[in-house]
Amino acid sequence: MCGCEWVIEAHGCDRDALADLNKLRALFQELSEALSLHPVGDASWHQFPGTGGITGLALLAESHLACHTFPEYHSLCLNVFCCRPRAEWDFGACLKREFSARAVRVRRIDRPYLPSCDESASG
């Protein structure tokens, strides 16, 4: 059994969209619905003065959903960790549509809960 984690970076985003708390709340909602995630409470948000960058964190029954925006660099970093495998989802299309991202990098990491046979034999 293993979970999965996505680490996503979006670059070339619209600066105003990255400082828009309502857009980020909508992103968390869309991800929760699309990936069948279950928030255990309201997400926590912090908007930085000056740059307007935003940090967000939602505790999920499945683990967590987190983001950090950098309007000054036109970038958004997103992390989604689920305790059970999930189908792939088109993060790129969403971030291009909602934040005008010009480039999106998505890395999926499988997170095993038990060591593999090779790992347990070596130590």
- What residues are annotated to the active site? 63, 68, 83
Instruction: Return the amino acid letter for 9.
Output: E
Place of tokens 């279950």: 38
- Are 7 and 14 in contact by the 8 Å Cβ rule? The answer is no
The residue length of the chain stands at 123
Gap between the Cα atoms of 35 and 28, Å rounded? 11
